[in-house]
Amino acid sequence: MKYVEEFRDGDTARVLAKEIQRIAEALDRPADRPIHIMEVCGGHTHSIFRYGLEGMLPKSVELVHGPGCPVCVLPMGRVDDCVSIAEREGVIFTTFGDAMRVPGSRKSLLQAKADGADVRMVYSPMDALTIARRHPEREVVFFGLGFETTMPSTALTILQAERLGVQNFSVFCNHITIVPTIKAILDSPDIRLDGFLGPGHVSMVIGVKPYEFVARFYKKPMVVAGFEPLDILQSIWMVMKQLVEARCEIENQYARVAPEQGNDAALRAVDHVYELREFFEWRGLGSIDHSGVRLREEYARFDAERKFAVPNLKIADPKSCQCGEVLKGAIKPWQCKVFGTACTPHTPLGALMVSSEGACAAYYQYGVFPKREAAE
């Protein structure tokens, strides 16, 4: 395939849907035990609802929406740390747009900006470095956020800042890793999963081999999936085919973009700049060992956590917010008590309603949820 239209062909989609239906019938699951397949990446979640893919699946196949949205798993205390840095005199705080409205315990970065803090939206860390070079009298901080997908760009920006001798640039590092996240989900006692759609963008950097533990130790199939409708349907079919054949393997549907061995140049930059944290706090999942990274000692001068004192407090989510249960796949977004009422994109209580990859935002945007009366 060469063109986007080919990845959205309705006739091919219907053929794949029929094949999924045929395999589902062969598996013959009881009505109270559907096949649960988790799409780890929030980008998959939005594609599924944008193109109505869930409606093409048999009732015996249920998609579970995982924690693959880095903004969504950011704990409230880290947002408070961002606001604390942004409100310092002489600081320009830069961030990707989807992090602007994530609520902290006091306010979001957008509210801090409205209150007078110099918070600016950028499209890349290099944009932040450019601002630092234009304003040598100000401290410019970039909010480093994301899985392995965005780690290389932040690392390469730090290396560029070092080469240029920029002294007023630093990164508030909140980059996280995907493998410990998947392991934490698999170790969760209240989640039953039959297979995974693996994250395509992360795999573009790390490759496919890091997921081998999913098949080897947990006996679950995983298919690294692309983001177009036919990508996702084919990946679901590949997972189902493994199930009916009693296989557990890691397969790569997204081979046109995600290489088996990963991206060597990106991985070298990541390894050169970062080291693993002993533990990192996740919204809804708690503390996960070795799931976050920080800057190595030789790059401490670019580390905002070392340059500025931050509160670094653990703040619990509002009791009414059930982002944690949604992130783990324990409930659907519409089953949250405040979904669509107290919590909307205009008045978000949790990050899942804010982020462009959040499951709650997808459900709300595309209206694919039963009425509240039916849910209750």
Q: What is the CATH number of the domain that holds 220?
A: 3.40.50.11750
pLDDT digits (tens, 9 = 90+) for 199-229: 999 999 999 999 999 999 999 999 999 999 9
Distance CA 160, CA 195 (A): 41
Same domain, residue pair 58 and 193? yes
Same domain, residue pair 89 and 161? yes
Residue 343 lies in a domain: yes
Tell me which of 354 and 105 has the higher pLDDT.
Answer: 105
Distance CA 175, CA 40 (A): 17
204-213, 223-232, 251-260, 284-293: lowest mean pLDDT where?
A: 284-293
pLDDT at 333 > cutoff 60: yes
Residue 273 lies in a domain: no
The secondary structure of 61-127 as a DSSP string is EEEEEEEE-TTTT--HHHHHHHHHHHTSTTEEEEE-GGGTT---SS--HHHHHHTT-EEEE-SSHHH
155-169, 247-261, 262-276, 306-320: lowest mean pLDDT where?
A: 306-320
pLDDT at 312 > cutoff 80: no
Q: Provide long-range contacts, Cβ within 8 A and 24+ apart, for 340-344.
A: 340/364, 340/369, 340/372, 341/372
pLDDT at 369 > cutoff 80: no
Same domain, residue pair 62 and 192? yes
72-76, 189-193, 282-286: lowest mean pLDDT where?
A: 282-286
Same domain, residue pair 142 and 160? yes
Residue 49 lies in a domain: yes
pLDDT digits (tens, 9 = 90+) for 121-137: 999 999 999 999 999 99
Residue 123 lies in a domain: yes
Same domain, residue pair 101 and 245? no
- How many domains would you assign to the chain? 3
- 3-state class percentages of the chain: helix first, strand second, coil last, to nearest 5: 45, 20, 40
Count of alpha carbons within 13 angstroms of residue 207, beta-carbon side: 12
Residue 235 lies in a domain: yes
The pLDDT confidence band at residue 345, using thresholds 50, 70 and 90, is: confident
Residue 126: the pLDDT is: 98
Residue 354: the pLDDT is: 75
Contacts of 255 (CB under 8 A, 6+ apart): none
The enclosing domain of 93 has a CATH number of 3.40.50.11740
The pLDDT confidence band at residue 372, using thresholds 50, 70 and 90, is: very low
pLDDT at 336 > cutoff 60: yes
Among candidates 76, 93, 105, 37, which has minimal Cα distance to 243? 37
Same domain, residue pair 96 and 216? no
pLDDT at 373 > cutoff 50: no
Count of alpha carbons within 13 angstroms of residue 86, beta-carbon side: 27
Residue 283 lies in a domain: no
Rounded to the nearest integer, the mean pLDDT of the chain is 90
Residue 270 lies in a domain: no
Q: pLDDT over 70 for what percent of the chain?
A: 95
Same domain, residue pair 135 and 94? yes
Same domain, residue pair 213 and 243? yes
Tell me which of 65 and 245 has the higher pLDDT.
Answer: 245
Chain centroid offset of residue 49 CA: 17
Same domain, residue pair 81 and 149? yes
Residue 356: the pLDDT is: 67
- Measured at the CA of 88, the angle between CA 84 and CA 93, to 5 degrees, comes to 75
Distance CA 20, CA 32 (A): 19
Same domain, residue pair 80 and 162? yes
pTM of the entire predicted model: 0.88
Domain that holds residue 162: 76-176+292-307
Q: pLDDT over 90 for what percent of the chain?
A: 63
Same domain, residue pair 339 and 193? no
Same domain, residue pair 93 and 168? yes
Element (H, E) at 266: helix 264-273
Residues in the chain: 376
Residue 282 lies in a domain: no
